[in-house]
Amino acid sequence: MATGKKAKNMGKTVKGKTKEVTGKAVGNESLEAKGRAEQAAGDAKQAAQKAKDALKH
């Protein structure tokens, strides 16, 4: 996996987790949901990139 893409996808996942935890702490369900969605997007992109890399080798 390209290092830049891996870092970007991981950053998106971490950012989503931060939003989720912050939303949970302050009782903001909308922020919590956005965080979960962002985590899912980051995880999906990372999985797609891993699959793409597996096909190359």
The domain containing residue 37 runs over which residues?
Answer: 3-56
Gyration radius of the chain over CA positions: 13
In the chain, the number of structural domains is 1
pLDDT number for residue 2: 67
* Cβ atoms of 13 and 46 closer than 8 Å: yes
pLDDT bracket for residue 42 (50, 70, 90):
very high
Stretch 11-39: mean pLDDT: 95
Q: Give the model's confidence band at 51: pLDDT under 50 very low, under 70 low, under 90 confident, else very high.
A: confident
Please give the pLDDT value at position 22. 97
Higher pLDDT, 50 or 14: 14
